[in-house]
Amino acid sequence: MAEYSAFSLLKNALTGNKDWKPAWRKPDPKASYDVIIIGGGGHGLSTAYYLAKEHGITNVAVLEKGWLGSGNVGRNTTAVRSNYLLPANTRFYEHSMKLWENLSHDLNYNVMFSQRGCLNLAHTPAQLDDFARRGNAMRHLGVDAELMTTAEIARLVPALDVSATARFPIVGGLMQRRAGTARHDAVAWGYARGADRRGVDIIENCEVTGFLRDGDRITGVTTSRGEVRARKVAVAVAGSTGQVVRLAGIDTMPIESHVLQAFVTESLKPFINTVLTFGMGHFYMSQSDKGGLVYGGDLDGYNSYAQRGSLPVVDEVMSEMLALFPGLARVRMLRNWGGVCDMSMDGSPIIATGPLPGMYLNCGWCYGGFKATPASGWCFAWTIAKDEPHDINAPFTLDRFHRGLVIDDKGQGATPRLH
């Protein structure tokens, strides 16, 4: 497989870029594997990579119904952060942050991780007090956090309306300097290449249509390309989780599927050099390397498996953007798209064995799926390899909802669409 370095870049530039090798193979499925991972998105690919790298399990197949990275890993707004309140979430996402910081070197693939910071705007003194509480909780667990004044925010983001006459006056904010963005498709490609180099089969255009069973135990899957058997079958399909596990006879899951829209504008000169979130609504924005403003907002308020959303959310998101940046009123939106989010009952993920013997579950990521990609794969690989969770993902069990051990970072209760 292709090795990437300054030397190989120069060599191929001088030879017309004709000698680059494919980043990963296109194998046919074998009759059996040690592990099958359903879902060729960021979480499935990172799980395969860490199974091979950390646990030496290389007889693994990643089954993707479409092309690699066609789901949520290529449909998000690319933000990476670990600024959570509750210890379980803070430890998990900080583990992910540390993996992000060395990921390009680890994969020998530039995922374009840019630690430009994440700024949460506060619009009332009470909200700023709440941010101080969260920042202190983060610092107690070794995560960077700092409160910023309005004047400091104005210097960081000059285009932001910080005047006293703004529709929602800004009184301060919470900054995590180590947060930032990464190139979403590069993350998928990097993990795919890394897994492939270690012997993992990545099989595209291979839709799972059912499960093979021996009694209650899952022993493989039926696919559009034939039966494939395995000792362990892992499900990492984000918003399609309910549909896939229903094929195994599991009709009820503590998650709902909702569409989350994202948007990008025409390219602008450097405008904002951080990830910024709005405190009086649901809006977040950063600027891509191409110059486009990448932004998003709230979920569409209905259950759906469609990768597109409704116009009322478009109107709401644009209104929130202009409340912060009135000067963007004439900027043109180039395109928008939707991803199907798996919203859990408490807003936190599920990384666990079960719910059937031989099955392993990775779902419930809500808004946090992309930034969790490295830690999700790392923890899920551990859980699959050892048949028990790592301490980092031990709180994220499927049965926590029955046991009353919810991890509700946002405090919204059992209403998935509000998380």
**How many angstroms separate the CA atoms of 230 and 232, rounded?**
5
Which domains does the chain possess? 28-78+184-254+346-418 (3.50.50.60), 115-180+256-344 (3.30.9.10)
Task: Give start and end residues of each alpha helix (H) in 102-216.
Answer: 103-107, 125-140, 150-156, 184-197
For 222, the token pair is 């039926």
128 within 8 A of 148, measured Cβ to Cβ: no
Distance in Å from the first CA to the final CA of the chain: 41
Cα 247 → chain centroid = 25
**How many angstroms separate the CA atoms of 231 and 251, rounded?**
23
Residue 213 β-bridge partners: 218
In angstroms, what CA-CA distances link 21 with 3, 45, 215, 254? 9, 20, 45, 43
Dihedral sign (CA 102, 107, 108, 112): negative
Confidence check: pLDDT of 413 > 90: no
**Higher local confidence (pLDDT), 8 or 389:** 389
Confidence check: pLDDT of 2 > 60: no
pLDDT of amino acid 309: 83
219 within 8 A of 230, measured Cβ to Cβ: yes
- Has this prediction a pTM greater than 0.75? yes
Residue 219 β-bridge partners: none
**How many angstroms separate the CA atoms of 37 and 45, rounded?**
8
Q: For residue 57, which phi and psi values (nearest 5 degrees)?
A: -95, 105
> What is the 8-class DSSP label of residue 163?
S
Give me the percent of the chain exceeding a pLDDT of 70: 100
**How many angstroms separate the CA atoms of 395 and 344, rounded?**
14
DSSP string, 130-157: HHHHHHHHHHHTT---EEE-HHHHHHH-
**How many angstroms separate the CA atoms of 120 and 128, rounded?**
10
**How many angstroms separate the CA atoms of 279 and 397, rounded?**
31
pLDDT of amino acid 164: 92
pLDDT band at 377 (very low <50, low <70, confident <90, very high): very high
Could you list the beta-strand ranges (E) of 290-356.
292-303, 333-344, 350-353
pLDDT, tens digit (0-9, with 9 covering 90-100), for 257-298: 999 999 999 999 999 999 999 999 999 999 999 999 999 999
Confidence check: pLDDT of 1 > 60: no
Average pLDDT, integer, range 60-74: 93
pLDDT band at 416 (very low <50, low <70, confident <90, very high): confident
**How many angstroms separate the CA atoms of 371 and 71, rounded?**
15
Burial, 115: exposed, middle or buried (Cβ in 10 Å; 0-12, 13-18, 19+)? middle
pLDDT, tens digit (0-9, with 9 covering 90-100), for 110-161: 999 999 999 999 999 999 999 999 999 999 999 999 999 999 999 999 999 9
pLDDT of amino acid 18: 87
pLDDT of amino acid 414: 85
**How many angstroms separate the CA atoms of 53 and 338, rounded?**
33
pLDDT of amino acid 76: 92
Mean pLDDT of the chain: 95
Judged by DSSP in three states, 265 sits in: strand
pLDDT, tens digit (0-9, with 9 covering 90-100), for 162-203: 999 999 999 999 999 999 999 999 999 999 999 999 999 999
**How many angstroms separate the CA atoms of 391 and 202, rounded?**
29
41 within 8 A of 49, measured Cβ to Cβ: no
pLDDT, tens digit (0-9, with 9 covering 90-100), for 310-360: 899 999 999 999 999 999 999 999 999 999 999 999 999 999 998 999 999
Burial, 213: exposed, middle or buried (Cβ in 10 Å; 0-12, 13-18, 19+)? middle
